Structure 1
Amino acid sequence: MDSRNPYYVHHSDQPGHMLVPTKLNGANYQSWSKAMIHALIAKNKVGFIDGSLAAPSKETHPVDFALWNQSNSMILSWLSHSVEPDLAEGIIHAKSALEVWVELRDQFSQKNAPAIFQI
């Protein structure tokens, strides 16, 4: 498979890898998410978290679905290893990397209104 294909998994890509140097703890969401986006762009996998690469139909495109599912599972594993253990518990049950990404964004990207008001 061509390495430019988003379903391509390089032999060095392992589920236990941590793609970014610092785990998400909640307070560091902005820098963590930027670092994670850069890592996923480098691996040609950002489409899994930005919604541009939806799951193919399992019934009509079973081969593409299997490839998508393999890559999605790898990204889910990378995400779970890139967050603090208490946050990882919620990732384990997710079905898609997009679902996890949206949940983390919604939970941690909230602006601090009082701090903004003071500025």
Structure 2
Amino acid sequence: MTTRANTTIHNTNDPHSTLISINVAAQTPLKLTSTNYVSWKLQFQTLFIGYDFLGFIDGSYPCPTTILPGTTTPNPAHTLWIRQDQLLLNAILGSLSPTIIPFIARAKTTREAWTILANTYAKPSRGRIKQVKNQLKQITKGSMGVFEFLRTIKAWVDELAILGAVVDDEDLLEKILEGLGEDYKELVRAVQARDTPISFDELHEKLLNFEASL
């Protein structure tokens, strides 16, 4: 949800003519930690694109002048820009873990805060990539249900993709089959004997049906 203020500037064709307040809990629930910057950034980028706010963080929509050009009249667009920028900065602050807030304590604009965070956390952590790969390598179905097993694997594969270490479909399916255990060896043999590769969705469906038969 968003709440829109009633204050608007005179140019009603301006897409930024209405203040928009971001509901942090609902729209940006992932809090930034020292290990999840890429995922955190993605949720804000999609939100900023949707509301046409990228200009506040990339500099393409700078703060308007305080006075209307060629006059001594205060520029209402300046005040509105400041207010909107502070609402966005507030949203970013609300999505940070407490230990990270001091890093941007001196930031006065959304762009300043965004730049500091990017410079600090943008490079994917090699340690995190290695950690996720190890988790993926070691996981087996064990006592988990099929749905939980596949959901866990898919979550780690998606995280690796975000970190720039994409797992191809063949390796993903091979990992799933390896981790199923003895109860599923009949299905595993059938899948491995296919002439054409099976898709993740099709394998998911077959595993659920097989689980139900067990």
After TM superposition, the structure 1 stretch with the greater mean CA deviation from structure 2, 74-83 or 37-46, is 37-46
* Alpha-carbon separation, structure 2, partners of 1:38 and 1:4: 20
Give unpaired runs (5+ residues) of structure 1.
none
Q: Which residue does the alignment assign to 2:106?
A: 93
**Higher Rg of the two aligned structures:** 2
Q: Which residue does the alignment assign to 1:9?
A: 19
* Alpha-carbon separation, structure 2, partners of 1:87 and 1:94: 13
* Alpha-carbon separation, structure 2, partners of 1:17 and 1:29: 16
* Alpha-carbon separation, structure 1, partners of 2:114 and 2:17: 18
Greater percentage in strand: 2
Q: Which residue does the alignment assign to 1:74?
A: 87
Q: Which residue does the alignment assign to 1:108?
A: 121
What displacement does 1:91 show? 3.3
| Secondary structure, counterpart of 1:23 in structure 2 | coil
Matched length: 114
* Alpha-carbon separation, structure 2, partners of 1:3 and 1:93: 34
TM-score normalised to structure 2 length: 0.46
CA contact (8 A) 1:7 1:71 kept: no
Q: Which amino acid aligns with 2:87?
A: M
Give unpaired runs (5+ residues) of structure 2.
1-7, 69-73, 131-164, 166-214
1:15-74 deviation per Cα after TM superposition (whole angstroms, max 9, x unaligned): x63431210012100011011111122222221112111111224463111010010000
Greater percentage in helix: 2
2:78 to 65, 73, 80: 65
TM-score normalised to structure 1 length: 0.78
2:48 to 40, 52, 61: 40
What displacement does 1:87 show? 1.6
